[in-house]
Every structure is written in C-alpha cells, then in structure tokens.
Amino acid sequence: MGCNFGKTKRDMKHSLNLIIGLLMGTSLFALPTPPVDNPDAILGFWKTGEGNAIVQIYKQGEQYQGKIVWLKEPNDPNTGKPKLDQKNEDPKLKGRPIMGMINLRDFKYAKDKLWEEGKIYDPKSGEDYSCKITLVDNNTLEVRGYVGISLFGRTDTWKRQQVK
C-alpha cells in the first residue's frame, strides 16, 4: 500500500503528467485577473487643472455629480466675503456661493472609463457646457467641456486628491 513497486514506468509517467496538469490548471485560477470596469472609479476629490479648486464627485442615484469643496481663494479680495457666482445669466442662480456649488451634473457611465451626457458649469464665464469625463488612470481625469459636439471644446486634466 502506498508504494510504487507494482507500477510500470508508463503508469508512473501518467501519474506525474496528471499531477502536473492539475497543478497547472489550479495555478491558472490563481493568476491575477484584469481589473473589472468600475463605474464608481470616478468618485472622490479632484483638483482642477489650474489648481484653484477641488471638486468632490459623488453618486446620486445612477448619476454622478460634482460640487466645489475647496477654493484656493475662497473670499473676494475686495470685500473679504465668500466669492459669489456673479456671471450666471439665470437670476435664480446668480449670487449663490461658489463654495459648495454643484458644477458637474447628471453624468452617466457610458463604458470603458467614460462618463457622458453631463453638464459642467464654469463660474468664471457663467456658462454651462456639455461635458464628458474620461478616467485616464486611477489618479487622472480628462474633463472635456464643449458646445454642440465634443470637437469644439476644451479639455482640463484633473488630479485625484486625498482630502482628510
């Protein structure tokens, strides 16, 4: 029992091949799998390309929104009071604080690290633009605002921030 005296060379070779095959088969399951496409990978805090604001991107229902949570210069230099949205053409929105403003709205995850069908508001110009966001890597977003089609627009590169 348990000894190989009665087995032929052929039987031993077959057993060895079987063991090697089993080991190789189980090691395939142990290989790392590529990362799964993650619609929530965009969540977090992102510093704008100019470095003058941090936007928190969060999920609301199935859509993604972003609000300004930090400003390099949060106060108006003339008054010392918090900066307000002075350029918005909508009288209901004009005069609201920029800090806490939702400036990214209604984004939907499309595919392959791309969020579309959203809007971005630029407090500097008072304009609302169509927008798409691409996750370049875990720490880099390309935010493209445009009018009409994406060809006519501007891309800003945002970097992920660790906020405490």
Q: How many CB atoms lie within 10 A of CB 114?
A: 15
Contacts of 15 (CB under 8 A, 6+ apart): 7
Q: Which stretch of DSSP H or E encloses residue 157?
A: strand 153-161
Q: Tell me the two tokens of residue 71.
A: 């400003």
pLDDT in 10s for each residue of the chain, 164 residues: 454 545 565 554 555 454 444 444 443 444 443 445 899 999 999 999 999 999 999 999 999 999 999 999 999 999 999 999 999 999 999 999 999 999 999 999 999 999 999 999 999 999 999 999 999 999 999 999 999 888 889 999 999 998 76
Each domain of the chain, given as residue ranges in start order, spans 39-161
CATH architecture of 39-161: Beta Barrel (2.40)
Strands 102-111 and 153-161: unpaired
Closest to 122 (Cα-Cα) out of 146, 142, 138, 140: 146
